[in-house]
Amino acid sequence: MATDENSKIIVRQAVLEDLDSIVRFNAAMALETEGKVLDQGKLREGVAAVFQRHGLGDYYVAEFAGRVVGQLLITTEWSDWRNSYYWWIQSVYVDADYRRSGVYRALHTFVADEAEGKGVQGLKLYVDRDNKRAQSVYADLKMNHSNYDLWEIDFESAQD
């Protein structure tokens, strides 16, 4: 879908009225990227928690012609090495009909400008090793590939 001159992508911080779109996008992202079908109730509660509990993160959405067509979540991490914050980009999704039309670039630019304006040290994100398309997009945005591999553990009790 190519954008025309009369319509433009608008990025803004998400509001509670965007909850359904964000839930739908997160479910689609998990299915597309990891083949996972998420529990809709738990997902809805998790997205709603971002709006309800200060400090968990902030969603940003991209609109085109009044329709939400993309999203990302920002979470904050303190770096003692830098004596500053980093913003982590998470839950990135662009509606399939609007990919390659500048939606993610608009989201990224908006968030990068917000971070820089607030004195944030930088932006970070995780990318699956097999997701070559996403890697290409981030390289095009001049993000550096990290030397680190992610190691993680999920505690079952936290999932209930």
Long-range Cβ contacts of 140-145 (<8 Å, 24+ apart): 141/105, 141/108
Instruction: Round to whole Å and give the CA distance between 6 and 26.
Output: 29
pLDDT > 80? residue 70: yes
Q: Which of 114, 21, 128, 140 is nearest to 71 (CA)?
A: 21
- Residue 21 backbone dihedrals phi, psi, to 5 degrees: -65, -45
> What whole-number distance in Å separates Cα of residue 29 and Cα of residue 37?
10
Q: How confident is the model at residue 156 (pLDDT cuts 50, 70, 90)?
A: low
- Decide: 45 and 28 in contact? Cβ < 8 Å: no
pLDDT tens string 12-37: 999 999 999 999 999 999 999 888 99
- Is it the case that residue 144 has pLDDT exceeding 80? no
β-pairing, 84-94 vs 58-64, is unpaired
All structural domains of the chain with their residue ranges: 9-159
CA-to-CA distance for 44 and 50, rounded, in angstroms?
Answer: 10
What is the reported pTM? 0.84
The CATH class of the 9-159 domain is alpha beta
pLDDT tens digits, one per residue of 118-136: 999 999 988 777 777 777 8
